[in-house]
Amino acid sequence: MRVGPTGMKHLHQRIRDDIEARIMSGEWAPGHRIPFEHELMAEYGCSRMTVNKVLSTLAANGLITRRRRAGTVVAEPSNQQAVLQIQDFALEAARAGTEYRFKVLHRSIEPIDAAAAQRTGLPAGTQMLCLSTLHVMDDVPLAFEQRLINLATVPEADKEAFKDDPPGTWLLRRVPWTDAEHIVRAINADSAMAKRLKIQSGTACLILERRTWQAGAFVTEARITYPGDRHQLVGRFSPTA
Amino acid sequence: MRVGPTGMKHLHQRIRDDIEARIMSGEWAPGHRIPFEHELMAEYGCSRMTVNKVLSTLAANGLITRRRRAGTVVAEPSNQQAVLQIQDFALEAARAGTEYRFKVLHRSIEPIDAAAAQRTGLPAGTQMLCLSTLHVMDDVPLAFEQRLINLATVPEADKEAFKDDPPGTWLLRRVPWTDAEHIVRAINADSAMAKRLKIQSGTACLILERRTWQAGAFVTEARITYPGDRHQLVGRFSPTA
DNA sequence: TTCGCGATAATGTCTATACATAATCGCGAA
DNA sequence: TTCGCGATTATGTATAGACATTATCGCGAA
Protein backbone atom coordinates (compact mmCIF):
# COMPACT_ATOMS: atom_id res chain seq x y z
CA MET A 1 0.00 0.00 0.00
CA ARG A 2 1.64 3.28 -1.08
CA VAL A 3 0.40 6.40 0.58
CA GLY A 4 1.97 9.77 1.18
CA PRO A 5 3.16 11.03 4.55
CA THR A 6 0.81 9.71 7.18
CA GLY A 7 0.78 13.10 8.86
CA MET A 8 -1.77 14.16 6.26
CA LYS A 9 -5.20 14.22 7.70
CA HIS A 10 -7.60 12.47 5.41
CA LEU A 11 -7.38 9.34 3.36
CA HIS A 12 -8.82 10.87 0.21
CA GLN A 13 -6.38 13.77 0.54
CA ARG A 14 -3.42 11.40 0.73
CA ILE A 15 -4.63 9.46 -2.29
CA ARG A 16 -5.29 12.64 -4.22
CA ASP A 17 -1.90 14.14 -3.48
CA ASP A 18 -0.24 10.88 -4.40
CA ILE A 19 -1.94 10.67 -7.79
CA GLU A 20 -1.43 14.36 -8.46
CA ALA A 21 2.25 14.05 -7.67
CA ARG A 22 2.64 11.20 -10.12
CA ILE A 23 0.93 13.24 -12.84
CA MET A 24 2.73 16.49 -12.08
CA SER A 25 6.14 14.87 -11.93
CA GLY A 26 5.64 13.35 -15.35
CA GLU A 27 5.76 9.79 -14.01
CA TRP A 28 2.27 9.42 -15.46
CA ALA A 29 2.47 11.40 -18.71
CA PRO A 30 -0.57 12.64 -20.66
CA GLY A 31 -2.31 9.64 -22.22
CA HIS A 32 -1.11 7.23 -19.51
CA ARG A 33 -3.87 4.94 -18.28
CA ILE A 34 -4.46 5.25 -14.56
CA PRO A 35 -5.17 2.07 -12.57
CA PHE A 36 -8.84 1.08 -12.41
CA GLU A 37 -10.85 2.00 -9.38
CA HIS A 38 -10.76 -1.55 -8.03
CA GLU A 39 -6.98 -1.61 -8.42
CA LEU A 40 -6.62 1.66 -6.51
CA MET A 41 -8.99 0.25 -3.85
CA ALA A 42 -6.57 -2.60 -3.34
CA GLU A 43 -3.50 -0.37 -3.53
CA TYR A 44 -4.74 2.08 -0.91
CA GLY A 45 -6.86 -0.36 1.03
CA CYS A 46 -10.05 1.66 0.96
CA SER A 47 -13.56 1.52 -0.46
CA ARG A 48 -14.47 2.33 -4.05
CA MET A 49 -16.46 5.41 -3.02
CA THR A 50 -13.31 6.99 -1.63
CA VAL A 51 -11.29 6.28 -4.76
CA ASN A 52 -14.22 7.45 -6.87
CA LYS A 53 -14.44 10.74 -4.99
CA VAL A 54 -10.75 11.41 -5.61
CA LEU A 55 -10.90 10.57 -9.31
CA SER A 56 -14.13 12.52 -9.84
CA THR A 57 -12.52 15.59 -8.31
CA LEU A 58 -9.42 15.23 -10.47
CA ALA A 59 -11.65 14.81 -13.53
CA ALA A 60 -13.63 17.93 -12.61
CA ASN A 61 -10.33 19.80 -12.39
CA GLY A 62 -9.36 18.58 -15.84
CA LEU A 63 -6.32 16.59 -14.77
CA ILE A 64 -7.72 13.27 -15.95
CA THR A 65 -10.30 12.06 -18.43
CA ARG A 66 -12.67 9.24 -17.56
CA ARG A 67 -14.70 7.05 -19.86
CA ARG A 68 -16.94 4.17 -18.93
CA ARG A 69 -15.56 0.78 -19.70
CA ALA A 70 -12.41 2.31 -21.27
CA GLY A 71 -10.94 3.55 -18.01
CA THR A 72 -9.17 6.69 -16.86
CA VAL A 73 -6.24 8.42 -18.55
CA VAL A 74 -4.13 11.47 -17.74
CA ALA A 75 -5.54 14.41 -19.73
CA GLU A 76 -3.60 16.29 -22.39
CA PRO A 77 -2.69 19.77 -21.15
CA SER A 78 -5.53 21.98 -22.35
CA ASN A 79 -5.43 25.50 -23.68
CA GLN A 80 -3.38 27.58 -21.37
CA GLN A 81 -5.26 30.16 -19.44
CA ALA A 82 -4.23 33.13 -17.41
CA VAL A 83 -6.23 33.90 -14.29
CA LEU A 84 -5.87 37.54 -13.33
CA GLN A 85 -7.05 39.08 -10.09
CA ILE A 86 -8.97 42.29 -10.52
CA GLN A 87 -8.55 44.33 -7.38
CA ASP A 88 -11.15 46.52 -5.86
CA PHE A 89 -9.60 49.99 -5.88
CA ALA A 90 -10.58 50.81 -2.31
CA LEU A 91 -9.26 47.51 -0.97
CA GLU A 92 -6.02 47.85 -2.87
CA ALA A 93 -5.55 51.38 -1.58
CA ALA A 94 -6.22 50.31 2.00
CA ARG A 95 -3.63 47.54 1.73
CA ALA A 96 -1.07 49.88 0.21
CA GLY A 97 -1.78 52.51 2.86
CA THR A 98 -2.70 55.16 0.32
CA GLU A 99 -5.72 57.38 0.05
CA TYR A 100 -8.38 56.48 -2.49
CA ARG A 101 -11.24 58.46 -3.92
CA PHE A 102 -13.37 58.40 -7.02
CA LYS A 103 -15.39 60.93 -8.93
CA VAL A 104 -18.33 60.34 -11.23
CA LEU A 105 -17.57 62.67 -14.14
CA HIS A 106 -20.61 61.92 -16.25
CA ARG A 107 -24.01 60.39 -15.74
CA SER A 108 -26.84 59.95 -18.20
CA ILE A 109 -29.51 57.55 -19.41
CA GLU A 110 -29.22 56.78 -23.09
CA PRO A 111 -30.34 54.23 -25.66
CA ILE A 112 -27.42 52.06 -26.77
CA ASP A 113 -26.03 52.33 -30.28
CA ALA A 114 -25.69 49.49 -32.75
CA ALA A 115 -22.15 48.53 -31.71
CA ALA A 116 -23.08 48.28 -28.03
CA ALA A 117 -26.20 46.33 -28.98
CA GLN A 118 -24.06 43.72 -30.68
CA ARG A 119 -21.61 43.47 -27.80
CA THR A 120 -24.34 43.01 -25.22
CA GLY A 121 -26.85 41.01 -27.20
CA LEU A 122 -29.60 43.54 -26.47
CA PRO A 123 -31.85 45.26 -29.02
CA ALA A 124 -30.54 48.63 -30.17
CA GLY A 125 -32.19 51.50 -28.34
CA THR A 126 -32.37 49.76 -24.95
CA GLN A 127 -32.12 52.32 -22.15
CA MET A 128 -28.86 52.20 -20.23
CA LEU A 129 -27.40 54.09 -17.33
CA CYS A 130 -24.06 55.48 -18.57
CA LEU A 131 -21.42 56.43 -16.01
CA SER A 132 -17.89 57.73 -16.37
CA THR A 133 -15.80 57.44 -13.23
CA LEU A 134 -12.25 58.52 -12.46
CA HIS A 135 -10.40 56.52 -9.82
CA VAL A 136 -7.71 58.46 -7.96
CA MET A 137 -5.07 57.27 -5.51
CA ASP A 138 -3.00 59.85 -3.60
CA ASP A 139 -4.12 62.50 -6.08
CA VAL A 140 -2.80 60.44 -9.02
CA PRO A 141 -5.42 59.25 -11.53
CA LEU A 142 -5.21 55.45 -11.54
CA ALA A 143 -7.95 54.47 -13.94
CA PHE A 144 -10.84 55.80 -15.98
CA GLU A 145 -13.98 53.68 -16.05
CA GLN A 146 -16.79 53.87 -18.59
CA ARG A 147 -19.76 51.79 -17.54
CA LEU A 148 -23.15 50.81 -18.92
CA ILE A 149 -25.77 49.40 -16.56
CA ASN A 150 -28.87 47.69 -17.91
CA LEU A 151 -31.79 49.39 -16.17
CA ALA A 152 -34.11 46.55 -17.14
CA THR A 153 -32.02 44.14 -15.04
CA VAL A 154 -30.90 46.56 -12.29
CA PRO A 155 -33.64 49.18 -12.00
CA GLU A 156 -32.50 50.30 -8.54
CA ALA A 157 -29.27 51.65 -10.08
CA ASP A 158 -31.28 54.63 -11.33
CA LYS A 159 -31.86 55.83 -7.78
CA GLU A 160 -28.33 55.19 -6.55
CA ALA A 161 -26.08 58.24 -6.19
CA PHE A 162 -22.77 56.27 -6.14
CA LYS A 163 -21.46 58.45 -3.35
CA ASP A 164 -19.98 55.88 -0.97
CA ASP A 165 -19.08 53.12 -3.42
CA PRO A 166 -18.05 53.35 -7.06
CA PRO A 167 -20.40 51.61 -9.53
CA GLY A 168 -18.30 48.45 -9.81
CA THR A 169 -18.23 47.80 -6.07
CA TRP A 170 -21.90 48.68 -5.71
CA LEU A 171 -22.90 46.26 -8.47
CA LEU A 172 -20.69 43.44 -7.25
CA ARG A 173 -22.37 43.52 -3.86
CA ARG A 174 -25.86 43.84 -5.22
CA VAL A 175 -26.24 41.82 -8.38
CA PRO A 176 -25.17 38.20 -8.74
CA TRP A 177 -23.82 37.24 -12.15
CA THR A 178 -23.62 33.94 -13.92
CA ASP A 179 -21.44 34.71 -16.92
CA ALA A 180 -18.66 37.13 -17.58
CA GLU A 181 -16.58 38.03 -20.61
CA HIS A 182 -13.25 39.79 -20.42
CA ILE A 183 -11.15 41.47 -23.07
CA VAL A 184 -7.73 42.95 -22.45
CA ARG A 185 -5.94 45.12 -24.99
CA ALA A 186 -3.53 48.00 -25.35
CA ILE A 187 -4.10 51.39 -26.97
CA ASN A 188 -2.33 54.71 -27.26
CA ALA A 189 -4.04 57.37 -25.17
CA ASP A 190 -5.82 60.02 -27.21
CA SER A 191 -5.73 63.60 -26.03
CA ALA A 192 -8.97 63.44 -24.04
CA MET A 193 -7.88 60.30 -22.18
CA ALA A 194 -4.40 61.74 -21.63
CA LYS A 195 -5.89 64.83 -20.02
CA ARG A 196 -8.14 62.81 -17.72
CA LEU A 197 -5.34 60.48 -16.58
CA LYS A 198 -2.69 63.22 -16.51
CA ILE A 199 -0.37 61.40 -18.88
CA GLN A 200 1.23 62.34 -22.17
CA SER A 201 -0.87 61.86 -25.26
CA GLY A 202 0.16 58.62 -26.96
CA THR A 203 1.15 56.81 -23.76
CA ALA A 204 0.36 53.10 -23.89
CA CYS A 205 -2.72 52.23 -21.83
CA LEU A 206 -4.15 48.92 -20.73
CA ILE A 207 -7.86 48.47 -21.37
CA LEU A 208 -9.90 45.91 -19.50
CA GLU A 209 -13.41 45.34 -20.77
CA ARG A 210 -15.76 43.26 -18.71
CA ARG A 211 -19.33 42.32 -19.54
CA THR A 212 -21.51 40.34 -17.16
CA TRP A 213 -24.82 38.55 -17.54
CA GLN A 214 -27.24 37.07 -15.08
CA ALA A 215 -28.90 33.94 -16.44
CA GLY A 216 -28.70 35.30 -19.98
CA ALA A 217 -29.84 38.84 -19.09
CA PHE A 218 -27.20 41.50 -19.64
CA VAL A 219 -26.20 43.28 -16.44
CA THR A 220 -23.32 45.64 -17.04
CA GLU A 221 -20.35 46.53 -19.17
CA ALA A 222 -17.24 48.21 -17.82
CA ARG A 223 -14.35 49.56 -19.84
CA ILE A 224 -11.48 50.46 -17.55
CA THR A 225 -8.46 52.31 -18.92
CA TYR A 226 -5.22 52.13 -16.92
CA PRO A 227 -2.09 54.08 -17.75
CA GLY A 228 0.33 51.35 -18.83
CA ASP A 229 3.09 52.49 -16.51
CA ARG A 230 0.89 52.80 -13.43
CA HIS A 231 -0.92 49.51 -13.39
CA GLN A 232 -0.61 45.88 -14.36
CA LEU A 233 -2.85 42.86 -14.02
CA VAL A 234 -1.37 40.03 -11.99
CA GLY A 235 -2.50 36.51 -11.32
CA ARG A 236 -1.22 33.36 -9.67
CA PHE A 237 -2.72 30.01 -10.46
CA SER A 238 -2.38 26.31 -9.66
CA PRO A 239 -4.33 23.83 -11.76
CA THR A 240 -5.03 21.62 -8.77
CA ALA A 241 -6.32 24.16 -6.30
CA MET B 1 -40.68 18.35 -2.87
CA ARG B 2 -39.29 21.03 -5.16
CA VAL B 3 -37.01 19.92 -7.95
CA GLY B 4 -36.14 21.38 -11.30
CA PRO B 5 -37.34 20.03 -14.62
CA THR B 6 -37.48 16.27 -14.32
CA GLY B 7 -35.94 15.93 -17.77
CA MET B 8 -32.59 16.49 -16.12
CA LYS B 9 -30.72 13.28 -15.76
CA HIS B 10 -29.34 12.97 -12.29
CA LEU B 11 -30.73 13.76 -8.90
CA HIS B 12 -27.67 15.60 -7.64
CA GLN B 13 -27.64 17.66 -10.85
CA ARG B 14 -31.23 18.73 -10.30
CA ILE B 15 -30.56 19.65 -6.69
CA ARG B 16 -27.40 21.51 -7.65
CA ASP B 17 -29.07 23.49 -10.41
CA ASP B 18 -31.94 24.31 -8.11
CA ILE B 19 -29.70 25.67 -5.37
CA GLU B 20 -27.48 27.49 -7.84
CA ALA B 21 -30.50 29.13 -9.41
CA ARG B 22 -31.70 30.38 -6.05
CA ILE B 23 -28.28 31.86 -5.33
CA MET B 24 -27.75 33.32 -8.78
CA SER B 25 -31.19 34.90 -8.92
CA GLY B 26 -30.57 36.66 -5.65
CA GLU B 27 -33.38 34.79 -3.89
CA TRP B 28 -30.68 33.55 -1.52
CA ALA B 29 -28.42 36.60 -1.12
CA PRO B 30 -24.86 36.47 0.22
CA GLY B 31 -24.98 35.68 3.93
CA HIS B 32 -28.29 33.80 3.67
CA ARG B 33 -28.27 30.55 5.63
CA ILE B 34 -28.97 27.55 3.44
CA PRO B 35 -31.21 24.77 4.83
CA PHE B 36 -29.36 22.10 6.80
CA GLU B 37 -28.47 18.88 5.08
CA HIS B 38 -31.23 16.98 6.85
CA GLU B 39 -33.75 19.61 5.75
CA LEU B 40 -32.62 19.33 2.13
CA MET B 41 -32.83 15.52 2.46
CA ALA B 42 -36.46 15.87 3.36
CA GLU B 43 -37.10 18.55 0.72
CA TYR B 44 -35.64 16.53 -2.14
CA GLY B 45 -36.41 13.10 -0.71
CA CYS B 46 -32.90 11.72 -0.97
CA SER B 47 -30.07 10.55 1.23
CA ARG B 48 -27.68 12.82 3.05
CA MET B 49 -24.74 11.66 0.96
CA THR B 50 -26.38 13.04 -2.15
CA VAL B 51 -27.10 16.41 -0.56
CA ASN B 52 -23.60 16.43 0.89
CA LYS B 53 -22.03 15.82 -2.51
CA VAL B 54 -23.92 18.77 -3.98
CA LEU B 55 -23.04 21.14 -1.15
CA SER B 56 -19.40 20.03 -1.09
CA THR B 57 -19.12 20.78 -4.80
CA LEU B 58 -20.71 24.19 -4.40
CA ALA B 59 -18.37 24.92 -1.51
CA ALA B 60 -15.36 23.86 -3.58
CA ASN B 61 -16.53 26.29 -6.27
CA GLY B 62 -16.74 29.09 -3.72
CA LEU B 63 -20.48 29.65 -4.00
CA ILE B 64 -21.19 28.72 -0.40
CA THR B 65 -19.28 28.60 2.87
CA ARG B 66 -19.72 25.72 5.27
CA ARG B 67 -18.88 25.52 8.96
CA ARG B 68 -19.46 22.66 11.32
CA ARG B 69 -22.29 23.15 13.71
CA ALA B 70 -22.97 26.66 12.38
CA GLY B 71 -24.35 25.55 9.04
CA THR B 72 -24.01 26.68 5.44
CA VAL B 73 -24.33 30.22 4.10
CA VAL B 74 -24.16 31.78 0.64
CA ALA B 75 -20.64 33.16 0.18
CA GLU B 76 -19.85 36.84 -0.35
CA PRO B 77 -18.77 37.48 -3.93
CA SER B 78 -15.00 37.17 -3.83
CA ASN B 79 -12.44 39.25 -5.65
CA GLN B 80 -13.37 39.27 -9.28
CA GLN B 81 -11.03 37.47 -11.55
CA ALA B 82 -10.59 37.46 -15.28
CA VAL B 83 -9.85 34.14 -16.91
CA LEU B 84 -8.18 34.72 -20.25
CA GLN B 85 -7.54 32.07 -22.86
CA ILE B 86 -4.03 32.09 -24.25
CA GLN B 87 -4.19 30.73 -27.73
CA ASP B 88 -1.64 28.51 -29.29
CA PHE B 89 -0.55 30.43 -32.39
CA ALA B 90 -0.63 27.41 -34.70
CA LEU B 91 -4.09 26.34 -33.53
CA GLU B 92 -5.46 29.85 -33.84
CA ALA B 93 -4.03 30.17 -37.33
CA ALA B 94 -5.49 26.84 -38.40
CA ARG B 95 -8.93 27.89 -37.15
CA ALA B 96 -8.70 31.25 -38.91
CA GLY B 97 -7.50 29.59 -42.10
CA THR B 98 -4.31 31.62 -42.22
CA GLU B 99 -0.72 30.55 -42.59
CA TYR B 100 1.47 30.50 -39.50
CA ARG B 101 5.21 30.29 -39.09
CA PHE B 102 7.75 31.20 -36.47
CA LYS B 103 11.42 32.03 -36.50
CA VAL B 104 13.92 31.71 -33.67
CA LEU B 105 15.89 34.94 -33.95
CA HIS B 106 18.26 34.37 -31.08
CA ARG B 107 19.49 31.45 -29.04
CA SER B 108 22.07 31.35 -26.28
CA ILE B 109 22.85 29.90 -22.89
CA GLU B 110 23.51 32.53 -20.28
CA PRO B 111 23.62 32.99 -16.54
CA ILE B 112 20.65 35.04 -15.34
CA ASP B 113 21.12 38.52 -13.96
CA ALA B 114 19.99 39.77 -10.58
CA ALA B 115 16.58 40.97 -11.74
CA ALA B 116 15.72 37.65 -13.38
CA ALA B 117 17.00 35.84 -10.30
CA GLN B 118 14.52 37.71 -8.16
CA ARG B 119 11.62 37.07 -10.53
CA THR B 120 12.29 33.35 -10.73
CA GLY B 121 13.51 32.68 -7.21
CA LEU B 122 16.72 31.11 -8.51
CA PRO B 123 20.27 32.04 -7.47
CA ALA B 124 21.89 34.61 -9.74
CA GLY B 125 24.17 33.05 -12.30
CA THR B 126 21.99 29.98 -12.94
CA GLN B 127 22.40 28.81 -16.54
CA MET B 128 19.36 29.42 -18.73
CA LEU B 129 18.48 28.75 -22.32
CA CYS B 130 17.48 32.13 -23.81
CA LEU B 131 15.32 32.18 -26.92
CA SER B 132 13.82 35.02 -28.93
CA THR B 133 11.06 33.95 -31.29
CA LEU B 134 9.00 35.90 -33.80
CA HIS B 135 5.51 34.57 -34.53
CA VAL B 136 4.20 35.44 -38.00
CA MET B 137 0.73 34.97 -39.50
CA ASP B 138 0.22 35.60 -43.22
CA ASP B 139 3.57 37.44 -43.32
CA VAL B 140 2.41 39.83 -40.58
CA PRO B 141 4.38 39.69 -37.31
CA LEU B 142 1.86 38.80 -34.61
CA ALA B 143 4.02 38.57 -31.51
CA PHE B 144 7.58 38.60 -30.25
CA GLU B 145 8.45 36.10 -27.56
CA GLN B 146 11.44 36.24 -25.21
CA ARG B 147 11.83 33.05 -23.24
CA LEU B 148 14.06 31.67 -20.51
CA ILE B 149 14.15 27.93 -19.92
CA ASN B 150 15.72 26.48 -16.79
CA LEU B 151 18.17 23.86 -18.01
CA ALA B 152 18.37 22.35 -14.54
CA THR B 153 14.65 21.46 -14.75
CA VAL B 154 14.39 20.81 -18.50
CA PRO B 155 17.84 19.59 -19.62
CA GLU B 156 16.49 18.11 -22.86
CA ALA B 157 15.65 21.63 -24.09
CA ASP B 158 19.35 22.11 -24.82
CA LYS B 159 19.24 19.50 -27.58
CA GLU B 160 15.93 20.63 -29.07
CA ALA B 161 16.15 22.60 -32.31
CA PHE B 162 12.59 24.09 -32.07
CA LYS B 163 12.08 23.48 -35.76
CA ASP B 164 8.59 21.97 -35.80
CA ASP B 165 7.12 23.56 -32.69
CA PRO B 166 7.84 26.93 -31.09
CA PRO B 167 9.28 26.78 -27.55
CA GLY B 168 5.94 27.41 -25.83
CA THR B 169 4.14 24.56 -27.55
CA TRP B 170 7.11 22.23 -27.10
CA LEU B 171 7.29 22.94 -23.37
CA LEU B 172 3.55 22.66 -22.79
CA ARG B 173 3.57 19.16 -24.24
CA ARG B 174 6.67 18.05 -22.41
CA VAL B 175 6.80 19.58 -18.97
CA PRO B 176 3.93 19.51 -16.50
CA TRP B 177 3.63 22.55 -14.28
CA THR B 178 2.05 23.07 -10.90
CA ASP B 179 2.09 26.84 -10.51
CA ALA B 180 1.91 29.75 -12.89
CA GLU B 181 2.14 33.50 -12.53
CA HIS B 182 0.86 35.96 -15.10
CA ILE B 183 1.42 39.65 -15.53
CA VAL B 184 -0.26 41.75 -18.22
CA ARG B 185 0.75 45.32 -18.95
CA ALA B 186 1.00 47.87 -21.74
CA ILE B 187 4.10 49.62 -23.08
CA ASN B 188 5.03 51.87 -25.95
CA ALA B 189 7.15 50.00 -28.50
CA ASP B 190 10.76 51.10 -28.61
CA SER B 191 12.51 51.29 -31.96
CA ALA B 192 13.94 47.74 -31.83
CA MET B 193 10.56 46.21 -31.01
CA ALA B 194 8.85 48.38 -33.62
CA LYS B 195 11.25 47.12 -36.27
CA ARG B 196 10.72 43.48 -35.33
CA LEU B 197 6.93 43.76 -35.29
CA LYS B 198 6.77 46.13 -38.29
CA ILE B 199 4.87 48.79 -36.42
CA GLN B 200 5.50 52.44 -35.73
CA SER B 201 7.78 53.28 -32.86
CA GLY B 202 5.64 54.26 -29.86
CA THR B 203 2.69 52.06 -30.76
CA ALA B 204 0.96 50.63 -27.68
CA CYS B 205 1.82 46.97 -27.15
CA LEU B 206 0.34 44.36 -24.85
CA ILE B 207 2.88 42.39 -22.84
CA LEU B 208 2.02 39.04 -21.32
CA GLU B 209 4.55 37.62 -18.89
CA ARG B 210 4.13 34.08 -17.77
CA ARG B 211 6.30 32.17 -15.32
CA THR B 212 5.74 28.51 -14.46
CA TRP B 213 7.08 26.23 -11.77
CA GLN B 214 6.93 22.51 -11.24
CA ALA B 215 6.64 21.61 -7.57
CA GLY B 216 8.62 24.68 -6.58
CA ALA B 217 11.28 24.30 -9.27
CA PHE B 218 11.32 27.07 -11.84
CA VAL B 219 10.58 25.86 -15.36
CA THR B 220 10.27 28.77 -17.77
CA GLU B 221 9.53 32.43 -18.23
CA ALA B 222 7.94 33.85 -21.35
CA ARG B 223 7.51 37.50 -22.21
CA ILE B 224 5.26 37.88 -25.21
CA THR B 225 4.79 41.28 -26.85
CA TYR B 226 1.72 41.79 -29.03
CA PRO B 227 1.07 44.89 -31.12
CA GLY B 228 -1.93 46.39 -29.36
CA ASP B 229 -3.94 46.77 -32.51
CA ARG B 230 -3.34 43.22 -33.76
CA HIS B 231 -4.16 41.17 -30.72
CA GLN B 232 -6.28 41.07 -27.59
CA LEU B 233 -6.72 38.60 -24.79
CA VAL B 234 -10.25 37.25 -24.43
CA GLY B 235 -11.90 35.10 -21.82
CA ARG B 236 -15.35 33.84 -20.96
CA PHE B 237 -16.12 32.56 -17.51
CA SER B 238 -18.95 31.16 -15.43
CA PRO B 239 -18.42 30.80 -11.69
CA THR B 240 -20.38 27.56 -11.58
CA ALA B 241 -18.75 25.63 -14.41
C1' DT C 1 -13.20 -11.16 -43.78
C1' DT C 2 -16.64 -8.31 -42.06
C1' DC C 3 -20.69 -7.16 -39.58
C1' DG C 4 -23.80 -7.31 -35.71
C1' DC C 5 -25.01 -8.42 -31.23
C1' DG C 6 -24.69 -10.00 -26.65
C1' DA C 7 -21.49 -10.57 -22.66
C1' DT C 8 -18.43 -8.03 -20.01
C1' DA C 9 -16.20 -4.61 -17.49
C1' DA C 10 -15.38 0.00 -15.89
C1' DT C 11 -17.34 4.21 -14.43
C1' DG C 12 -21.63 6.88 -12.56
C1' DT C 13 -25.07 7.38 -9.17
C1' DC C 14 -27.42 6.57 -4.97
C1' DT C 15 -28.57 4.66 -0.33
C1' DA C 16 -28.17 3.60 4.60
C1' DT C 17 -25.14 3.65 8.19
C1' DA C 18 -21.37 4.82 11.25
C1' DC C 19 -18.19 7.47 13.52
C1' DA C 20 -15.12 11.81 13.71
C1' DT C 21 -14.70 16.68 14.35
C1' DA C 22 -15.64 21.22 15.49
C1' DA C 23 -18.32 24.99 16.94
C1' DT C 24 -22.10 26.60 19.40
C1' DC C 25 -25.46 26.60 23.18
C1' DG C 26 -26.76 26.56 27.66
C1' DC C 27 -26.33 25.16 32.29
C1' DG C 28 -24.06 25.51 36.61
C1' DA C 29 -20.35 27.28 39.47
C1' DA C 30 -17.46 31.12 40.97
C1' DT D 1 -22.87 38.51 35.95
C1' DT D 2 -19.33 36.03 33.90
C1' DC D 3 -16.67 32.12 32.92
C1' DG D 4 -15.86 27.31 31.85
C1' DC D 5 -17.24 22.93 30.52
C1' DG D 6 -20.05 19.38 28.84
C1' DA D 7 -24.04 18.33 25.74
C1' DT D 8 -25.69 19.05 21.38
C1' DT D 9 -25.69 19.39 16.52
C1' DA D 10 -24.21 20.20 11.78
C1' DT D 11 -20.78 19.06 8.83
C1' DG D 12 -16.76 15.83 7.28
C1' DT D 13 -15.19 11.40 6.12
C1' DA D 14 -15.52 6.68 5.13
C1' DT D 15 -17.77 2.03 4.20
C1' DA D 16 -20.39 -1.72 1.81
C1' DG D 17 -23.68 -2.71 -1.29
C1' DA D 18 -26.83 -2.03 -5.20
C1' DC D 19 -28.14 -0.87 -9.66
C1' DA D 20 -27.58 2.15 -14.01
C1' DT D 21 -25.04 3.34 -18.03
C1' DT D 22 -22.00 2.81 -21.75
C1' DA D 23 -18.05 1.48 -24.29
C1' DT D 24 -15.44 -2.26 -25.65
C1' DC D 25 -14.40 -7.06 -26.66
C1' DG D 26 -15.06 -11.19 -28.86
C1' DC D 27 -17.86 -14.66 -30.75
C1' DG D 28 -20.78 -16.31 -34.29
C1' DA D 29 -23.23 -15.62 -38.58
C1' DA D 30 -23.43 -13.75 -43.27
Query: Cα–Cα distances in Å, from B233 out to A146, A170, A209, A228, B80?
Result: 19, 26, 10, 16, 17
pLDDT in tens, chain A (241 residues): 444 445 678 999 999 999 999 998 889 999 999 999 999 999 999 999 999 999 999 999 999 999 999 999 999 887 788 889 888 899 889 999 999 999 999 999 999 999 999 999 999 999 999 999 999 999 999 999 999 999 999 999 999 999 999 999 999 888 888 889 999 999 999 999 999 999 999 999 999 999 999 888 999 999 999 998 889 999 988 766 5
Cβ-Cβ contacts under 8 Å between A and B: the total is 191
Taking C1' of C14 and every protein CA, the nearest residue is: B50
* Secondary structure (3-state) at B43: helix
Question: Is B213's pLDDT higher than 80?
Answer: yes
Phi, psi at B171, each rounded to 5°: -65, -45
Does residue B173 or residue B117 have the better pLDDT?
B117
Phi, psi at A169, each rounded to 5°: -65, -45
Predicted confidence at residue B4, as pLDDT, reads 43
CA of A62 to C1' of C17 (A): 32
**What is the distance in angstroms between the Cα of B100 and the nearest Cα belonging to chain A?**
18
Question: Is B73's pLDDT higher than 60?
Answer: yes
A236 CB and strand C closer than 7 A: no
Phi, psi at B178, each rounded to 5°: -115, -20
> Can you give the pTM of this predicted structure?
0.87
Question: Residue B182: which of A82, A177, A208 has the nearest Cβ?
Answer: A82
Dihedral (CA of A221, A225, A228, A233) sign: negative
Closest-approach residue (CA) in chain A for B234:
A183
**Closest among A28, A233, A135, A108 to B184, alpha carbons compared:** A233
